[in-house]
Amino acid sequence: MAILGKIERYLRQTGMPRTKFGRLAVNDPRLVDDLRNGRDPGPELRARIEAQLARPPAVVPRGDAR
């Protein structure tokens, strides 16, 4: 599966905003938008994205924002 497809699935499953994913993965809040617009990540960027996809997201249940 293409990297953008993996990211889109991750965002749907986790409910994470695309800008937060970009910041966590590569410190670039525009990452997902850029990929949607045709950006082709190089091997190092792809490795950093894959590493973020492999990390379980920190999920706070809604209504429980202690």
Question: Pick from 48, 3, 21, 1: which is nearest to 30 by CA?
Answer: 21
Which parts of the chain register pLDDT below 50?
Answer: 66
* Collapsed DSSP state (helix, strand, coil) of residue 30: coil
Give the pLDDT score at 20: 95
Give the pLDDT score at 40: 95
User: Domains of the chain: which residue ranges?
Assistant: 3-54
